A and B are shown apart, each in its own frame.
Chain A
Amino acid sequence: MSETVRIVERREVPTDAKMIHGLPDVGLVGVIAVSQIISQLKMVEVAYVDSDLLPPVIVLHEGLPHSPIRIFSNDNLLALISEIAIPASSLQPLMRAIVNWMDEKGVETAISLGGIATPNRQNIESPKVYGVGSNELSLKILREKGISVMERGFLVGPQALILQYCAEKNIAAISLLAQAFYNYPDPEAAAAVIDTLNQIVKVPVNVSDLLEKGEEVRLRMRDIMRRTQSELVRMRKSQEYDIPHYYVA
């Protein structure tokens, strides 16, 4: 594990679990989706991330301090969530430490939930969800479930790094990316990504509740979205719009 990042376990962590990730990115899709899953499944905190690479922030819950990046568990499901925008310059060591920890814990499948910025999102009623895999097994899972695979293009940010580091370790990792607003919280995209996640891992979560509370979610997520926006600029997120150059197999 990286020296600058520690993952501190507070309770016993299940082995051979499936792990979902909700990290701040376009439309905060992953954060909204994973926060809904943690809350509805009443998952409990089992570990947290401690690192000098993070800003000096704690999050207060019921009067007690917590790390802004935590891992929750319920039976055989783990969920990682960040309550703050992660500095773009810290993403690599943080994601590498998280993937190393997943490897130690024998995580069976890692699924990152997120968004793919879509310029005409306002005119899309039902956001489409695309999948990306870290190895042949992940691609097989996506194809068997009828999830559209993103065949070519660029991915930038936490999901991209998790896929890359998981590929190095041959961990089956999947990114599920819903069409989303670039810089507005998108609860509809989060609901779409939960629906697709359900095809791979059964998470008994009611997305209609998320859709009904859409306006409240958008309002509550304003400040983290604002801070995430500046990190998206720093990580050159707009490169995802680029058309790939010559084909390199």
Chain B
Amino acid sequence: MRPIMRRRRSIFDIMREYMEEFERAAEEALSAFEQPSWDLETQSLQPLFNISVTAEEVVITADLPYADPKTLKIESVDEDLIEITAKMRVKLRFEDLGVSHREGEFSSFHCRVPLPVPVDASRAKASFKRGILEVRLPRRRGYKIKVE
């Protein structure tokens, strides 16, 4: 029986796929602008967050002013999506922010962050300093290409 030949993906295929995934994530992030950055139902605010990808890891940071560090939760929703939640030390009403034509108050932060590349979540590390959360997720390794 002839062995099944599977075409090995070149480095260019991997780069192209990576860029396509990254562009998709960027488009998703941009489309979020058309939604409010708050949710009255869950009384939560969407924090500012940032994703950067290095050769070794994915680094996610989130700006969480007023967050109570003891309530911070970072959970995996899916292989390529993590959820960050935190309760705030204060309750904020629209009125406190100078908005008089809306009603409601906020007491937590909530966001879902898409992971642009596969990671090994079991080796992830997180820190919270000066109101900024930093999560470092090592990238999952694929295969090595031997240089002839």
Residues of A at the B interface (CB closer than 8 Å) are: 122, 181-185, 214-216, 218-220, 222-223, 225-227, 229-230
Given A122-B134, A184-B132, A219-B66, check contact A226 B97 (CB 8 Å). no
Q: Does B129 contact A (CB under 8 A)?
A: yes
Q: Does B126 contact A (CB under 8 A)?
A: no
Contact at A219–B130, with CB atoms within 8 Å?
no
- Which residue of A has the minimal Cβ distance to B134? A122
A residues less than 8 Å from B92 (CB atoms):
219
Of residues 23 to 56 in B, which have CB atoms within 8 Å of A's CB atoms? 30, 33, 37, 45, 47-48, 50
A residues less than 8 Å from B104 (CB atoms):
none
Contact at B132–A185, with CB atoms within 8 Å?
no
A residues less than 8 Å from B47 (CB atoms):
222
Cα–Cα, bound, A227→B34 (Å)? 10
30 A-B pairs with CB atoms under 8 Å apart are A122-B130, A122-B132, A122-B134, A182-B50, A183-B48, A183-B50, A184-B48, A184-B63, A214-B65, A215-B65, A215-B66, A216-B65, A218-B63, A218-B65, A219-B45, A219-B66, A219-B97, A220-B97, A222-B37, A222-B45, A222-B47, A222-B48, A222-B63, A223-B37, A225-B48, A226-B37, A226-B48, A229-B48, A230-B30, A230-B33
Cα–Cα, bound, A226→B31 (Å)? 12
A residues less than 8 Å from B37 (CB atoms):
222-223, 226
CB distance from A129 to the nearest CB of B (A): 19
User: How many B residues touch the partner, as a band?
Assistant: 10 to 19
CB distance from A226 to the nearest CB of B (A): 6
B residues less than 8 Å from A222 (CB atoms):
37, 45, 47-48, 63
- Which residue of B has the minimal Cβ distance to A184? B63
Cα–Cα, bound, A220→B97 (Å)? 7
B residues less than 8 Å from A220 (CB atoms):
97
A residues less than 8 Å from B48 (CB atoms):
183-184, 222, 225-226, 229
CB distance from A141 to the nearest CB of B (A): 33
CB distance from B35 to the nearest CB of A (A): 11
CB distance from B57 to the nearest CB of A (A): 14
Interface bits B109-134 vs A (CB < 8 Å: 1, else 0):
00000000000000000000111101
Cα–Cα, bound, A218→B92 (Å)? 14
Cα–Cα, bound, A218→B132 (Å)? 11
Contact at B63–A185, with CB atoms within 8 Å?
yes
Interface bits B61-75 vs A (CB < 8 Å: 1, else 0):
101011000000000
Cα–Cα, bound, A216→B92 (Å)? 10
- Which residue of A has the minimal Cβ distance to B130? A122
CB distance from A152 to the nearest CB of B (A): 25
Of residues 1 to 25 in B, which have CB atoms within 8 Å of A's CB atoms? none
B residues less than 8 Å from A226 (CB atoms):
33, 37, 48
3 tightest Cβ-Cβ pairs between the two chains A and B = A215-B65, A218-B65, A184-B63
A residues less than 8 Å from B30 (CB atoms):
230
CB distance from A179 to the nearest CB of B (A): 14
Cα–Cα, bound, A185→B131 (Å)? 12
CB distance from A211 to the nearest CB of B (A): 12
B residues less than 8 Å from A229 (CB atoms):
48
